[in-house]
Amino acid sequence: MSASAQKIRRYLVAGVQLTSREDVAENLARCEALVREAAARGASLVALPENFSFFGDEAKKLASAEPLDGPVLTRLASLAAELHIHIVAGGFPERASVPGKVHNTLVVFGPRGERLAVYRKIHLFDVDLPGAGQRYRESDTVVPGDETVVVDTELGKLGLSICYDVRFPELYRQLAEKGAELILVPAAFTQYTGKDHWHALLRARAIENQAYVLAPGQFGQHNPKRATYGKSVLIDPWGLVVAQAGDREGVVIGEVDFAELDRVRAELPALRHRRLP
C-alpha cells in the first residue's frame, strides 16, 4: 500500500528549538533529549532546526562536514527507528564534491529509520545588514542545491526548505504545485531580521499555499558574532499560529489536522483559481 493510501489525517508535530554551538557531541546530545521529549508527548514528526549539529566558525564547519551516511545522520536514523517517528534533520554541513565547500542539507527519516528525502538549500544567505553591523556570505562555504523536494509520507506530503528560502515565494508555490500539505522551514534566523520578518513571512507562506508550516529555529547567542531569533512555530493553513516556542531551548508541539486543511482549500480555493497571463 502506498504512503498516500495509508495517510494519517490528524497527528501531533514538534519543532525543536536549540542554541547550538561548535561542540557537535553536545549539540547532538541536546537534540536527542529534546526529540525524546517530543516523542514522549505524542509527536509523530519531530523537526530539528538549521545548523542543529554545528553552529560556529566557518573553517570548523567545513571540518565537521560528513556524508549522508556519516555518524550524525546515522544516529538520527537510529533514533527515528527506536521511537517510531519521523525526524527532520533540519540542515547540516554535508560534504560536497567542490573542494572547500559543503551543502546545507536537510534529511527526512521515516519511522523505521529509512531515509525518505534529501533537500539541499537553494537560496544562500549572502547579505549585508549595516543596521546590525553584520555581514553574511553563506556562498563562501556552501554549494547551493538545485531541486525542489516534496516527499509523500504516511503523514502527508512534506515540502522541504531551509531558512532564507522563505523569502522566495516562487519556491513554495512549486512545493504547493507538487502537493505539499505540511511545509518545513528549519531556520537560524538572525535576531535583527527575525523580529520584523519571521512571522510575516511564515504566515504568508502558509496562507498563499494553504498548507501547514512548521518552522523550528535556533535561539539565543551562539558565539560573539551570531545570535538568532527563535520563536519556533507551527502555523495552520489559514495563517494562524497554532503553537510557538518561548525564549529558550525546548520543544514546540501542535496538531496537524488535514480535515482543517481540506476545509480551508474548499472554502477558499485559491490554488485552483491561479491564472498566469
Is 31 catalytic? The answer is: no
Cβ neighbours for 175, distance < 8 A, ≥ 6 positions apart = 148, 150, 159, 160, 161, 183, 209, 211
Q: Which of 61, 157, 163, 181 is catalytic?
A: 163
Query: Using N-to-C axis directions, what is the helix angle for 71-83 and 24-40, rounded to 10°?
Result: 10
Question: The CATH number of the domain where 164 resides is what?
Answer: 3.60.110.10
Q: Is residue 121 part of a domain?
A: yes
Tens digits of residue pLDDT in 161-203: 999 999 999 999 999 999 999 999 999 999 999 999 999 999 9
Q: Kindly name the residue from 50, 66, 181, 249 that is annotated as catalytic.
A: 50
- Residue 87, class by beta-carbon neighbours within 10 Å (0-12 exposed, 13-18 middle, 19+ buried)? buried
Is residue 47 assigned to a domain? yes
Identify whether 3 is part of a domain. Answer: no
Tell me if 1 is assigned to some domain.
no
Q: Is residue 4 part of a domain?
A: no
What global pTM score does this model have?
A: 0.96
- According to the model, what pLDDT value does residue 130 have? 86
277 lies in a domain?
no
The larger pLDDT score, comparing residue 252 to residue 135, is at 252
What are the start-end ranges of the H helices in the chain?
24-40, 58-64, 71-83, 169-177, 191-209, 258-267, 270-273
Please tell me which residue in 121, 157, 181, 249 is annotated as part of the active site. Answer: 121
Domain count for the chain: 1
Read off the pLDDT of residues 66-78 as tens digits, 9 standing for 90 and up: 999 999 999 999 9
DSSP string computed for 246-270: -SSSEEEEEEEEHHHHHHHHHHS-H
Query: Which residues span the domain enclosing 105?
Result: 10-271
pLDDT computed for residue 262 by the predictor: 97
User: Does 28 reside within a domain?
Assistant: yes
Residue in the structure block whose three cell numbers are 499560529: 241
Q: Is 121 a catalytic residue?
A: yes
50 an active-site residue? yes
159 — phi, psi (to 5°)?
A: -100, 130
The overall average pLDDT reported for the chain is 95
